[in-house]
């Protein structure tokens, strides 16, 4: 009887240890494989001569993303394929929508200098002269190949539409996810520069 009691005690203790270790295992380790997290890199804040006369305010509305991109898993897709791959061990550290907004806001601020660019949602009582809407059609890439951004954008004000355009660009990507996320960040910067040029052209008229 004592022998069975001791066995039961040891078995219970072993199970308790296993559950305790499982509970303490970091969430970044899945199935024995380390999960890496990435962010989009906003450019450094630039200062210098203004490129606009007067002061303008632009609010960037939440980015419209395709459903398959609305995930924390980084999406891979080759340029000539309809197949997408969700990278379970390589994930975004924050919402892609929010990260996209932040990089676009900082990039536009750098390109426009004197304009105040803010990522929305709009707070009660805050009024912006212009609002920027971005509808992303694709924003992914393939390792050791390339990455692309395709997006429709629209700037509107109190008097209606000011400027619009469809941005599309592809850049080469290295062999790592870190390089992929850097290129994706660069694509947003490139789109911001395109938007800024057309915004300045309209305002200067």
What integer pLDDT is reported at residue 47 of this predicted model?
A: 58
Residue 110, token pair as written in the block: 């750098």
Residue 189, token pair as written in the block: 């910067």
pTM (2 decimals)?
0.80
CATH 3.90.230.10 matches 30-203? no
Measured in whole angstroms, the distance separating CA 142 from the mean position of its chain's CA atoms is 16
DSSP 42: P
What integer pLDDT is reported at residue 78 of this predicted model?
A: 73
Burial of 8 (0-12, 13-18, 19+ CB in 10 A): exposed
**Residue among 203, 198, 76 nearest 129 (CA):** 203
What integer pLDDT is reported at residue 191 of this predicted model?
A: 97
Where exactly are the structural domains of the chain?
A: 30-203
Tell me the C-alpha distance between 51 and 97, whole Å.
28
Q: Which residue has the tokens 């990522």?
A: 119
Q: Which residue has the tokens 């929508």?
A: 97
Series of mean pLDDT values for 10-residue runs along the chain (205 residues): 45 44 40 82 71 76 94 87 90 95 93 80 69 95 94 92 96 96 97 93 76
Q: How far apart are the first and last CA of the chain?
A: 96
Cβ neighbours of 55 (radius 10 Å): 10
What integer pLDDT is reported at residue 159 of this predicted model?
A: 84
Residue 86, token pair as written in the block: 């969700």
């Amino acid at each position: 009887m004592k022998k069975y009691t001791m066995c039961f005690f040891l078995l219970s203790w072993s199970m308790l240890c296993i559950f305790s270790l499982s509970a303490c295992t970091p969430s970044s380790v899945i199935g024995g494989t380390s999960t890496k997290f990435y962010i989009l890199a906003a450019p450094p804040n630039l200062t210098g001569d203004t490129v606009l006369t007067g002061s303008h305010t632009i609010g960037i509305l939440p980015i419209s993303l395709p459903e398959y991109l609305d995930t924390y898993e980084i999406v891979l897709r080759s340029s000539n394929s309809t197949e997408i791959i969700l990278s379970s061990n390589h994930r975004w550290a924050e919402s892609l929508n929010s990260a996209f907004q932040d990089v676009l806001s900082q990039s536009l601020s750098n390109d426009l200098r004197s304009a105040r660019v803010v990522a929305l949602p709009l707070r009660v009582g805050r009024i912006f002269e212009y609002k920027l809407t971005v509808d992303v059609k694709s924003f992914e890439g393939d390792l050791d190949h390339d990455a692309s951004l395709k997006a429709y954008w629209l700037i509107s004000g109190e008097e209606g539409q000011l400027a619009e355009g469809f941005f599309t660009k592809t850049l080469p990507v290295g062999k790592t996810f870190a390089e992929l996320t850097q290129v994706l960040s660069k694509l947003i910067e490139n789109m911001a520069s395109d938007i800024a040029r057309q915004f300045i052209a309209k305002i200067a008229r």
